[in-house]
Structure 1
Amino acid sequence: MDYQILQAKSELLRRMSAEDFARLKPQLASVFLELRAPLE
């Protein structure tokens, strides 16, 4: 995956809470949280 795309997703995650993601798309929430883990 392109680094800039990963960076953009990381920025989005910092602005939205896990609860927001869980309400919108439970599956996406878990995927994003998995992606965020190695970035922190």
Structure 2
Amino acid sequence: MSTKSSAWDKILKVIIAVASALLGAFSAHAMNSGGPF
């Protein structure tokens, strides 16, 4: 059980890291272009 929870912890951390990176890229692009798209 402990190995499974640790694996899920790593997966969740990776997902959060990717999501935060995407959000940062999108927000930076929106600021540079002056709009959401």
TM-score when scaled to structure 1?
Answer: 0.39
Larger radius of gyration: 2
Q: Relative contact order, CA 8 A, sep 6+: which one is greater?
A: 1
